[in-house]
Amino acid sequence: MKDFVDIVDVSEEVSPYLRYRPGMLKWKVFHRGKGKNHPALWYQTWPSVPEWKRKDGESHALTESMFHEDYTYYNNQKGRTVMRDPLNLSRCMRFYPHEDNQGGFFCAVFKKHADVPSGHIQ
């Protein structure tokens, strides 16, 4: 997909008085669980998800596409030596309501490079 669309850095266009955070490079995925025997948990990688929580027709199940193995560091982690961001997610902007007395928003500006061939997107 990154051959057809790119996320554009528009941070220079945003007012310097408007607080925001860059897009995340790593995230956890939540599953609500099923009762006392299977509590709600956060998962960091697809292999760590038990088989019964994987997508099998249930609407609440997890899918592999919810995880991204290329993202191995938080964007604000101290002491990191490598930052891989092949999709340029750090160019996204996350606005939190408690930081500027405003609404919460997620913003990303996309630039299309070429048409996606039919049948290419799953």
Distances in Å between the Cα of 92 and the Cα atoms of 10, 36, 41, 47, 87 are 9, 38, 27, 27, 10
Domain ranges of the chain: 1-24+80-122, 28-67
**One pLDDT digit (tens) per residue for the chain, 122 residues:** 567 888 999 988 888 888 888 888 778 899 887 777 878 889 988 888 888 788 765 566 888 878 776 544 444 444 444 556 777 888 899 988 988 888 899 999 999 988 877 776 65
State residue 122's pLDDT score: 54
Q: Is the pTM higher than 0.75?
A: no
State residue 2's pLDDT score: 62
